[in-house]
Chain A
């Protein structure tokens, strides 16, 4: 069956460190992969998009990698801050012929001072 898996356990890290979140998928051949941030009770907010032919994308303190062989994306936040504490969701556009965007269950990040 098709799955998008993110670590369901919360990730707790100290301020200033790099947070690394993982998104693994099975039985998909995604055209795009996106990362979103969601705060409690709020709608998700788009962070980054990476295409299947791109290995890495950066935006300020954020970096995303996409390995279609491993079927995995890694999301990094460098120099993390308490304000980065949120749930981070990865999402796949499952193919070029559809606009269906499927989300993983998300990983909660807690950055403590």
Chain B
């Protein structure tokens, strides 16, 4: 058990819909990362938050947005869903000194999104 909790574990929805994925980081971790993993793409970095502020951005679509709340949990919002958005979405957390990644990421078990 990594200590990172993601909900829901599975989600099935239709094209055009909007979903919210939730992540609770390990106790004490200030950084939260979101990754998308599809069969043909590997783990794609989406976005990182540090203590409530956006720290780094990857190839996150404009239809996707995220935030980190004062209690450090994070949500990833996916809207206007398309078939190609079907994937495993992972959240990870780490203890990060400002400006440097000094260690490992702890991953949750992922949220499997299926868009029909």
Contact = CB atoms under 8 A, between A and B. Distances in A.
B56 A43 contact: no
Listed residue (B33, B41, B55, B107) with the most chain A CB atoms within 10 angstroms of its CB: B107
A31 B97 CA distance: 14
A42 interface: yes
Nearest to A43: B107
Contacts of A89: 42-43
B79 to A, nearest CB: 24
A46 interface: yes
A43 B110 contact: yes
Given A42-B109, A96-B99, A106 B42 contact: yes
Given A100-B48, A102-B45, A43 B109 contact: yes
Contact of A100 (B56, B109, B110): B56
B48 A43 contact: no
**Chain B: interface secondary structure?**
strand
B77 to A, nearest CB: 21
Contact of A43 (B2, B45, B96, B100): B2
A69 interface: no
A103 interface: yes
29 contacts: A31-B100, A32-B101, A34-B104, A41-B88, A41-B110, A41-B112, A43-B92, A43-B108, A44-B43, A44-B90, A45-B2, A45-B107, A46-B105, A49-B103, A49-B104, A96-B99, A98-B55, A98-B56, A99-B31, A99-B50, A99-B94, A99-B99, A99-B100, A100-B58, A101-B101, A103-B43, A104-B42, A105-B42, A106-B42
Given A46-B106, A100-B58, 12 more contacts: A42-B109, A42-B110, A43-B2, A45-B107, A89-B42, A99-B31, A99-B48, A100-B45, A101-B101, A103-B42, A105-B42, A106-B42
Interface of A: 31-32, 34, 36, 41-46, 49, 89, 93, 96-106
